[in-house]
Amino acid sequence: MKTVHVSASRGYDVVIGGGLLETMGRTAAQLCPGRTACLVSDDTVFGLYGDRAKASLEAAGFTVCTWVFPHGEQAKCGERFLELVNFLAEHRLTRADLLVALGGGVTGDLTGFAAACYLRGVRVLQVPTSLLAMVDSSVGGKTAIDLPAGKNLCGAFYQPVGVLCDTDLLRTLPEDIFRDGCAEVIKYGVLGSRDLFDRLAAAHVRDQAEAIVADCVAMKRDVVEADEFDTGRRQFLNLGHTLGHAVEAGSDFRLSHGKSVAIGMAMIARAAASKGFCSPETRDELIALLTRYGLPTETDQTPEAILRTALGDKKRQGGSITLVVPAEIGRCVLHKIPVEELPRWIEAGI
């Protein structure tokens, strides 16, 4: 078992290892003075782990209410958000009580945002069940719902009281969803660790999950501690996301986030190599590792379509946009460009 402590506006531990779901109730009891917990999960995850999670909380003395929603990104919407906060109010949760987000990124984002808003803030324990949520979305306090105009457009920075990454839960994760998480893991290697990148090439993430998740979380912790509110260094975590989000939205979200980020990273690496930011070898190494993990590196969307969506991205600031550009494996740079230059980057990346 490994523990990574995050010192942000609220300090908390991210615990990584097997068997954490069983002891989750005891951990929750230490993090929260109240004795009512609302367990939030989608129907798929609740079917797999809901009973065990509930039993663990009840054994630790909690009265548990459960809010289960139909799985899928479409649940991250205003309607579901209002249903959830109304449910909390109907069950009279107080500021002493706890929300438990058991699931992937959608569950974590929706529950985290409800926790940030209900009574102007109640405790939330994140229990991510997907690789992607373990290495990225459950850590660092970004919470949000989507709006019709775009993804994650309404949200808050709101840190959890703890994060439990039970790596045993990865065993039931469908291969395709596991692969999505691998894209984010590869991102960390490209961003800041040649060593991590090489370990990903040497053995599959599945066979070294605890160590890999812990290393990614430690890297994310360093970034979040330096820039909790995303005004500088945290932007590095957007590697592959500007173009990736555009491809994801352009597919009407039929293409998953992880696969879109993989395409976004490959595109920015191609553009970076053609503009002399990195060598062709760096580009090829990145694309080869993505391919090895079964991730896509190309899109059939047109440059015009990608541009249209990229211009609506929330990372755009007025007339400029900051790209995260690989310089070598383990090192990236932030490169601010006027939006008029974006078409050339997209064309070079396709």
Q: Does 76 bind ligand GLY (CB under 6 A)?
A: no
Q: Does 14 bind ligand GLY (CB under 6 A)?
A: no
Q: Give whole-number Cα distances, 166 to 20, 140, 143, 348, in Å.
A: 5, 18, 21, 41
C-beta closer to ligand GLY: residue 37 or 243: 243
Q: Does 6 bind ligand GLY (CB under 6 A)?
A: no
Q: Does 278 bind ligand GLY (CB under 6 A)?
A: no
C-beta closer to ligand GLY: residue 179 or 245: 245
Q: Does 330 bind ligand GLY (CB under 6 A)?
A: no
CB proximity list for 69: less than 8 A, separation 6 or greater: 40, 41, 42, 43, 75, 80, 83, 84, 110
Q: Does 192 bind ligand GLY (CB under 6 A)?
A: no
Q: Does 296 bind ligand GLY (CB under 6 A)?
A: no
Q: Does 142 bind ligand GLY (CB under 6 A)?
A: yes
Stretch that binds ligand GLY, among 134-142, 194-202, 304-312, 331-339 (CB under 6 A): 134-142
- CA separation for the pair 319, 199 (Å, rounded): 40
CB proximity list for 26: less than 8 A, separation 6 or greater: 56, 60
Residue with tokens 């309404």: 154
Q: Does 258 bind ligand GLY (CB under 6 A)?
A: no
Q: Which two tokens stand for residue 98?
A: 């706890």
For residue 51, the minimal CB distance to ligand GLY (Å) is 31
For residue 295, the minimal CB distance to ligand GLY (Å) is 18
Q: Does 250 bind ligand GLY (CB under 6 A)?
A: no
Give burial (CB, 10 Å; 0-12/13-18/19+) of 317.
exposed
- CA separation for the pair 83, 81 (Å, rounded): 5
Residue with tokens 């160590």: 211
Stretch that binds ligand GLY, among 30-38, 76-84, 122-130, 135-143 (CB under 6 A): 135-143
Which ranges of the chain would DSSP assign to H, the alpha helix? 24-31, 43-45, 51-59, 78-90, 105-117, 131-132, 175-192, 194-202, 209-226, 241-250, 257-274, 280-292, 303-310, 342-349
Q: Does 136 bind ligand GLY (CB under 6 A)?
A: yes
Residue with tokens 């609740």: 46
φ/ψ bin of 252: left (φ > 0), alpha (ψ from -120 to 50), beta (otherwise):
left
Q: Does 123 bind ligand GLY (CB under 6 A)?
A: no
Q: N- to C-terminal Cα distance for the chain?
A: 42
C-beta closer to ligand GLY: residue 117 or 237: 237
For residue 238, the minimal CB distance to ligand GLY (Å) is 7
Q: Which two tokens stand for residue 317?
A: 């600031």
For residue 184, the minimal CB distance to ligand GLY (Å) is 8
For residue 136, the minimal CB distance to ligand GLY (Å) is 5
> Pick from 287, 297, 226: which is nearest to 263 by CA?
297
For residue 239, the minimal CB distance to ligand GLY (Å) is 10
For residue 80, the minimal CB distance to ligand GLY (Å) is 21
For residue 140, the minimal CB distance to ligand GLY (Å) is 4
Residue numbers 225-244 binding ligand GLY by CB under 6 A: 230, 234, 237
* Residues binding ligand GLY (CB under 6 A): 136, 140, 142, 230, 234, 237
